[in-house]
Structure 1
C-alpha cells in the first residue's frame, strides 16, 4: 500500500514538474515575441541583457539570502579561465535565440532549435574525431529532413532570423561540448551555473547592447505609450527567465532521461500551438509536417541515446560505435538546453 502511494506521488510530482517547466518555458518564449512584435521593443540585445541582470539578482538572492542551494566555491583563477569562456558561449546562445525571435515566428524558431542534436554530433565528429553508433546518425536523418522541409515551406521566412537560430544551435552545441572540459571538477546545479555565468554574460553583452541599441531604447522610452505596463512585461520576462532555471532543476530530479526527452519534444509542439493561437502566423500543411518529422526524429534520437547508454561495459564495439561511454557525453545539453 505504501509503495503504491509512493509511486503515485512520484508520478504526480513528475507530471507537476513537467507542467510548470512547460509553463515557464513557453511563457518566456511568448513574452519575448510579444515584446518584439506587440510592444515594438525591437532590441534583442537589450532584452537578453535584462534577462541576465534579472538572473544575476535572482541567483544571488536564492543562494546568498534564501539559501535555497549552497554556493559552490570556485577558484578565482578558474573564474577567468573556465567560467568566462563558458559565459561567452552561454551569452551567445541566449542572444541568438532572442535575435531569431525578432525576425521569425516562434514555430519556425522552435523547429530550428530542434536541430541542436545534429550540430552537436557533427561538431564532435569533426573536432574531436569521435565515432558514433550508426543509429545515432540514422536518427539525425528525420531531424535534418524535417528542418529542410520546414525551412522551404515557411511562409514568413527571414534569412537573418534563420541564420541567427541556426548559429544559436551551434552555440548550444559548443556550450555543451566545452562544459565537459572547462567545468571539469565542478558539479554545478542550474542555480550555481546562473550565479557565476549571468554576471559575466551581463558584462559581455552590456557594451554591445548600449552601443548598438542604446539610442533606440532611449527613443522608445520617450515615445512609447503605456510605458509602465510595457516595462512590467519586459522585466517580467526577465524574472520568468530566471524562474525557468528553477523549473529545469526541478524537472531534472523528478523525471527520467527518456521522459524528459519526450516531454521536451512535446513542449516544442505546445509552444508552436500556443504561439499560433496568439500571433496567428500562417502555417502551411507541409510546414507543420516538417515540424512533426523533426520532433519525431528528436524523440528517436533521445531513445537511441538512452538505449546505448544502457549497454553494459563489455558490449562488443564496431569501428562506428563510440570507443567508450564517455564519448557519448555530452551530445546535447541533455537536460539543460532551456537555461536562460
Structure 2
C-alpha cells in the first residue's frame, strides 16, 4: 500500500484509519459467502473508501510542500492524471491484464466533452484543496446535486422532481452553516469547489449522452477502459492549462520535485490513489442500485471529511460538524427521495 509521507519526510505508519479499514476487509474475508454476502462488492467498497481517504491526504501533503495555492496546484493536478495514464497504458500492454478498447476516431471525438469536464472538475478540486482545508472543500463539493439539478432542468431539459428541488435548500443551508466557523475559509477555495461542482455536473450529463452512442460500450470493452480513455484525454487537455497558469515557473517545480521527496512521493502516490479509487468507485456503482449508491457516497464523504481532518489537524468545530451533517444528510435525501415517494405510492 502506498503510504503518505509527512512534511518532515517520514512515512506515516500509525494511521489508525488504515488499520481499521484493513481489519474490516479481513473480517469480510473471514465471513466467507455466508448469507449470500457479495464479498467482492464489499471489498470494492472498502478499497474505494481507503483509496479516497489516502488520495486526499497525499494530495494535500504534496500541495502543502509545493507552496499551497501559490505553488503548483495545476501542475500537480495534471501530473496526477499523468500517473493514471501510465498505469492505464501499462494495463493494456501487460500480458493478460486488460483487453485494449477498439474505439473509433468518432468515438474519441464524442468523448472529448466528458474528458474536458473531468479534467476541469479535477483541476478545480485540487486548487480548492490547496487553498483551504480538505474538510471544507469536501463539504462544498457535497453541494454538487444543486448544480446538477439546475443543469438537468434548464440546460439538458431533463426535469427534476419537486421533491428533489425541496431537498436543495437543506444541502445549501448545511454548506453555509459549515462555512460560518471555518478557520481555513478562503474565497478562492469556495469558488474553486463550486467550479468543480459545475464541471462535475456537466460531466454527469455529458456522460449520459455519450453512453447513448450505439455500440460504444461494446467497443470500449469495460468500465476500466472507459475511465482510462477519459483520464488520458483529460491529461492531454490539462497540458495547455498548466503551461498557461504555471508554465513560467516550471523550472522551479522541476527543482522542487527532484529535491523534495515530500512533493515527489506524495504526488505519485496521490496519482495512483486517485486513479485507483475512481475506477473502483465506477465498478462498485455499476454493481449496485440507486439507493445503495447514495448511501455509499454519503458514507464515503463523511469518512473522508472526518478522517482527513483528524489526520491533518484541521478544525472540527461543532458548528462545522453540524453544517456538514445537515448538508450531507440533504444530499442523501436528495438522492433517494424519488424512490422513497415511489415506494409509498
* TM-score, reference length from structure 2: 0.80
> Which of 83, 86, 99 is 1:70 aligned to?
99
Change (3 A) 1:306 1:206: same
Is the aligned partner of 1:167 residue 2:195?
yes
Match of 1:195 in 2: 228
- Contact 1:56/1:194, CA 8 A, preserved across alignment: no
Distance 2:333 2:184 in 1: 29
1:56 aligned partner: 85
Aligned length: 308
Q: Secondary structure at the match of 2:46?
A: helix
1:5-154 pair list within 5 angstroms: 6=33, 8=35, 10-40=37-67, 42-80=71-109, 82-154=110-182
- Compared with structure 1, are the counterparts of its residues 26 and 111 closer, same or farther at alpha carbon in structure 2 (3 Å cutoff)? same
Offset of residue 264 of structure 1? 1.5
How far apart, in 2, do the equivalents of 1:102 and 1:240 lie?
17
Q: For 1:63-105, what per-residue CA distance to the aligned partner results, in whole angstroms no more than 9, with x for missing partners?
A: 342444433322212312x112221111101101101011011
Quote the Cα distance in structure 2 between the aligned partners of 1:130 and 1:223: 47
Find the aligned partners of 2:262 and 2:73 in 1 and give their Cα distance: 19
Deviation at 1:182, TM superposition (A): 3.1
Aligned to 2:320: 287
Instruction: Note if contact 2:81-2:232 (Cα within 8 Å) is conserved in structure 1.
Output: yes
Mapped contact 2:227–2:279 kept (Cα < 8 A): no
**CA contact 2:256–2:263 (8 Å) conserved in 1:** no
Partner in structure 2 of residue 216 of structure 1: 249
- Of 289-298 and 34-43, more deviation after overlay is shown by 34-43
* SS of residue paired to 1:295: helix
- Please report how far the alpha carbon of residue 282 of structure 1 lies from its aligned counterpart in structure 2 after TM superposition: 2.2
Alignment of 1:257-296 (within 5 A): 257-296=290-329
Shift of 1:43: 1.1
Report if aligned partners of 1:63, 1:69 keep a CA contact under 8 Å in 2: yes
Q: Verify the 8 A CA contact 1:155 1:283 in the aligned structure 2.
A: no
Q: In structure 1, what is the Cα distance between the partners aligned to 2:32 and 2:51?
A: 28
Secondary structure, counterpart of 2:37 in structure 1: helix
Structure 2: which 5+ residue stretches go unaligned?
A: 1-30
Report deviation, 1:112. 0.9
Query: What is the CA RMSD across the aligned residues, in angstroms?
Result: 2.6
User: What CA distance in whole angstroms lies between the structure 1 residues aligned with 2:312 and 2:262?
Assistant: 20
Q: Which moved more, 1:139-148 or 1:23-32?
A: 139-148
2: CA distance between counterparts of 1:307 and 1:149? Answer: 27
For the residues of structure 1 that align with 2:190 and 2:231, how far apart are their CA atoms? 26
